[in-house]
């Protein structure tokens, strides 16, 4: 069995700064980490591997990003992944979710027989949650999103529970398939010292656009149908009216004013 986990390297901050002129993210001077939500996908893959007979399951990390994204792959390897592929090319720069999932899908195709692709729920910077379902669409595979529990694998099918706002939904999905997982799926382990040493020495595969045989017009900014037309920080204004009520009379006056306020807005 073969499981692929696409992982994204993201800036180590939730306060992502944007360049308002270019509409792109300011990444300079910000430390890069594995997208925190991808750690759950990594752990889910490792648990599935452990549930299979020894040597019967291979787990591979794939990341599209600049050369420094290799450290994200090494982190997955230090947690127990067998190998990793970095997809790096200047032509991939500026990709939106369409172009990102296109390149990831092409790499997964090139890897050959794959049973399961497990993505994080979303990346903490781009934050769309579209890349996992995008990969499934390019590869014409079924997708189970927001998976909070993996019940098990039987006869080429995986049983999962999707997290819904008001409960769970059980799904039996035919493999090969794509899952996107939420935090509830597993508790990510910490890398071991031995794992770190192995990961540091590991030879990673790196593929560029030519290796994937992809046409330039489908890549990066050129291949991205999404355009950031304008970005701005919404101004939050709170126009408040203070009602100070200290005795029976002022409490009644304040209550009348609250009622009047709600009636003016047709809320009562
Ligand atoms: C015009 C335009 C230009 C952009 N330019 C850039 C840019 O230059 N650099 C940039 O980083 N972003 C850029 N973006 C943002 C870009 O759309 C997203 O960062 C990227 O496509 C992934 O989407 P997301 O972050 O919303 O991931 P989500 O869909 O939220 O991620 C879900 C899951 O998909 C997987 N995943 C997502 N991205 C990757 C990846 N790169 N490699 C492996 N797995 C992945 C992970 O498992 C992740 O948990 C640009 C967007 C637009 C619209």
Its pTM stands at 0.86
**Per-domain residue ranges for the chain?**
2-218, 237-268
> What is the residue-wise DSSP string for 119-168?
EES--TTT----HHHHHHHHHT--EEEEEEEEEEEETTEEEEEEEETTEE
Ligand 1 mean position to 201 CA, how many Å?
28
Pocket test for ligand 1, best of 102, 123, 130 (most atoms within 8 A of CB): 123
How far is the centre of ligand 1, averaged over its atoms, from the C-alpha of 127 (Å)?
8
Span from the CA of 67 to the centroid of ligand 1 (angstroms): 16
Distance from Cα 221 to the centre of ligand 1, integer Å: 12
User: Based on C-alpha coordinates, what's the Rg of the chain?
Assistant: 24
Residues facing 116 on adjacent strands: 3, 177
* DSSP 8-state class, residue 43: H
**Ligand 1, CB within 6 Å, residue ranges:** 6-8, 24, 35, 37-38, 41, 63-65, 93-97, 100, 104, 119-120, 122-123, 125-132, 221, 224, 226-228
The Cα–Cα gap between 8 and 130 comes to 13
Listed residue (84, 72, 83) closest to 33, CA to CA? 72
Task: List the one residue out of 162, 154, 156 whose CA is nearest residue 179.
Answer: 162
Nearest Cα to Cα of residue 188 among 39, 61, 17, 29: 39
Residue with the smallest CA separation from ligand 1 atom 32 is: 122
174 strand-pairing partners: 157
The pLDDT, as a whole number, for residue 16 is: 66
Return the best residue to mutate from 7, 8, 221 for the ligand 1 pocket (most ligand atoms within 8 A of CB). Answer: 8
For 96-133, the pLDDT digits (tens) are 999 999 999 999 999 999 999 999 999 998 889 999 99
Q: Whose CA is nearest to atom 6 of ligand 1?
A: 94
* DSSP symbol at 258: H
Per-residue pLDDT of the chain (268 residues; tens, 9 = 90+): 999 999 999 988 766 677 777 767 777 778 899 999 999 999 999 999 999 999 999 999 999 999 999 999 999 999 999 999 999 999 999 999 999 999 999 999 999 999 999 999 999 988 899 999 999 999 999 999 999 999 999 889 999 999 999 999 999 999 999 999 999 999 999 999 999 999 999 999 999 999 999 999 999 999 999 988 887 777 777 778 889 999 999 999 999 999 999 999 999 8
Would you state the structure tokens that stand for residue 152, as one six-digit string? Answer: 């098990």
Residue 14 has a pLDDT of: 62
Question: Class of 2-218 per CATH?
Answer: alpha beta
Atom of ligand 1 nearest to the CA of 99: 21
């Amino acid at each position: 069995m073969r499981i692929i986990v696409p992982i994204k390297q993201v800036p180590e901050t939730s306060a992502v700064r944007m360049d308002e002129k270019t509409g792109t993210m300011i990444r300079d001077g910000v430390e890069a980490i594995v997208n925190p939500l991808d750690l759950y996908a990594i752990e889910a893959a490792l648990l599935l591997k452990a549930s299979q007979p020894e040597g019967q399951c291979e787990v591979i990390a794939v990341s599209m990003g600049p050369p420094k994204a290799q450290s994200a792959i090494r982190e997955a390897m230090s947690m127990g992944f067998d190998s990793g592929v970095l997809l790096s090319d200047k032509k991939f720069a500026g990709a939106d979710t369409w172009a990102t999932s296109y390149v990831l899908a092409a790499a997964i195709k090139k890897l050959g027989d794959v049973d399961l692709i497990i993505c994080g729920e979303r990346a903490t910077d781009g934050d769309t949650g579209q890349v996992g379902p995008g990969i499934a669409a390019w590869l014409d595979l079924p997708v189970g999103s927001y998976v909070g529990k993996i019940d098990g694998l039987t006869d080429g099918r995986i049983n999962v529970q999707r997290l819904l706002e008001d409960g769970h939904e059980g799904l039996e999905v035919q493999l090969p398939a794509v899952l996107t997982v939420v935090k509830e799926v597993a508790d990510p382990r910490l890398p071991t010292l031995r794992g770190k040493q192995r990961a540091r020495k590991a030879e990673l595969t790196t593929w560029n656009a030519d290796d994937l045989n992809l046409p330039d017009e489908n890549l990066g900014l050129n291949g991205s149908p999404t355009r950031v037309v304008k970005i701005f920080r919404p101004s939050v204004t709170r126009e408040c009216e203070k009602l100070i009520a200290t005795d029976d009379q002022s409490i009644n006056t304040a209550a009348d004013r609250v009622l009047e306020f709600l009636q003016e807005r047709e809320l009562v």
